[in-house]
A and B are shown apart, each in its own frame.
Chain A
Amino acid sequence: MNQPTTIERSRTAEEFLKGIWKENPVFVAVLGMCPTLAVTNTAINSLAMGLATTFVLVFSSLLVSSLRNAIPKQVRITTFIIIIATFVTVVDFMLAALVPQVHKELGAFIALIVVNCLILGRQEAFASKNNIKLALADALGMSLGFTFALLCIGVVREILGSGSLFNIPLFGSGFEPWVIMIMPPGGFFTLGFLLLFFNWLQKRRKARQESGRQSTQYEEAREFL
């Protein structure tokens, strides 16, 4: 306990890891539903949206965290939005220049990253209250979790709805794609089933912890007697 560096390191690791699984922005916090449902009809679109969000979240968190003492709290939300919107517009231009095909598919949803509550939420709840290192860990973890979640949905929807993965056909010509999976209802179905699965996992883990605690209590009681 007298080694603060290890504690600090484990805190950073913890902030990084929580976004990927324990506090996953999509499967646990159910944030950012607009891009989650709208652009996950192919794996490539999901990945592109995840990476664009990652860029915006990481750089916004870095900037907000480093300026956290300079921004008066009365105008903090406005300032966060200016920072986020700037990075989003930069991403928009960059995608149009570098990957025009993907930019065309994502369309307005790139600009809509500005209003993704995951990003503003992390600034308000975390980056504005923590040092740069922790803010970076948190932003990276959250964006990785978001990208992972989008990819999960995108992979399922593309395989079932188009019979391909990353545009590579998986099945022969005999496969009749479930068109509904790449249409809006498919997004809801897939997200619903994945949420069900993740909630089931969590419930099972909780139940196991509970029974573990009960058994130790039982042991303690026996020893006491």
Chain B
Amino acid sequence: MEEEKSQPVPATEPEASSFRLISTLGLAGFFSGIVLVGAFLYTKPIIEANRAMALQQAIFKVLPGCTSFRTLELQDGQLVMLEEGAPEPKEGEEVRRIYVGYGPKDKLIGFAISGEEPGYQDLIIALFGYNPEEKVVIGFEVLESKETPGLGDKIMKDPGFRANFGSLAAEPSVTVVKKGEKKKDNEIEAITGATISSKAVGRLLEKSLVEWRPLIEEHWQEFKKVEEE
């Protein structure tokens, strides 16, 4: 080895005492802890702001024409509209939230609902827009996924697949069919070579719709800010 030429280690190095060994490791751990806590405290608010920003952008994407939104929280089986600027849920706290989006002149556009479903690799977490008036899904955006690059991750980018979600009927139920076999409004055309991921998206939509639709259907009129003529 070339490096060994430089600064030979003294041959008669005294044996270090146990105290010295323990104190070295203790000090290393102590300073390491200080640095880590510092870095964590410094980056935490930025990371949280990033996450909120990503969610906000996704809401605007899945509700076309949306200009503002409010957060709804499920409390005792009731949808409660949270104050603007309400605090984010604490970590580990189990809260269920959906978002109601308004367009220009406070016209209600729809609800943004998030759902998760195991895909080919790991959980797919996605957000989709639902228009309760026409009972259709109007937008879909993947928030988190580890699907195979080049195959499964097409659920995020493939324009053909994304076209499924322009106005996908939620009734009677969302189903996934092979590419080129779409006949009805409630069918999603799968991506060739990514059937498992496509089907996971279908299940994700269907599961969340079954869960949230009864509540939304029943109460959505209450969230209208203006009466339409």
Contact = CB atoms under 8 A, between A and B. Distances in A.
Interface of A: 18, 41, 70-75, 78-79, 82-83, 85-86, 89-90, 93-94, 96-98, 100, 104, 107, 125-126, 129-131, 134, 161-162, 177, 179, 182-183
B150 A177 contact: yes
A96 B43 CA distance: 8
Is chain B's interface secondary structure helix, strand, loop, or mixed overall?
A: helix
Interface string B26-58: 001100100110011011001100110010000
Nearest to B21: A75
B144 A96 contact: no
B86 interface: no
Given A82-B32, A86-B36, A93-B39, A74 B7 contact: no
B24 A125 contact: no
A134 B5 CA distance: 13
The 7 closest A-B pairs by CB, nearest first: A72-B16, A97-B46, A179-B150, A97-B43, A93-B43, A86-B32, A90-B39
A182 B150 CA distance: 7
Given A129-B9, A130-B3, A161-B150, A72 B24 contact: yes
Interface residues of B, number: 34
B24 A94 contact: no
A90 B35 contact: yes
A82 B28 contact: yes
A94 B6 CA distance: 36
A129 B54 contact: no
Interface in B126-152: 144, 146, 148-151
Contact of A134 (B6, B32, B35): B6
Contact of B28 (A83, A162, A179, A182): A83
Contact of B21 (A72, A97, A98): A72
A86 B54 CA distance: 28
A190 to B, nearest CB: 14
Nearest to A161: B150
A146 to B, nearest CB: 18
B25 interface: yes
Contacts of B150: 161-162, 177, 179, 182-183
Contacts of A107: 146
B183 interface: no
Contacts of A71: 24
B1 A125 contact: yes
30 contacts: A72-B21, A73-B9, A74-B16, A75-B24, A78-B25, A78-B28, A79-B24, A79-B25, A79-B28, A82-B25, A89-B36, A89-B39, A93-B42, A94-B43, A96-B47, A97-B42, A97-B43, A97-B46, A97-B50, A100-B50, A100-B51, A125-B1, A126-B3, A129-B7, A130-B3, A130-B7, A131-B7, A177-B150, A182-B149, A183-B148
B109 to A, nearest CB: 27
Given A100-B51, A129-B6, A129-B9, 14 more contacts: A71-B24, A72-B21, A74-B21, A79-B28, A86-B36, A94-B43, A97-B42, A100-B47, A125-B1, A129-B4, A130-B3, A130-B7, A162-B150, A182-B149
Nearest to A87: B35
B28 to A, nearest CB: 5
A104 B67 CA distance: 27
B105 interface: no
A96 B13 CA distance: 44
B20 interface: yes
A129 B1 CA distance: 13
A106 to B, nearest CB: 12
A93 B38 CA distance: 11
Nearest to B9: A129
A177 to B, nearest CB: 7
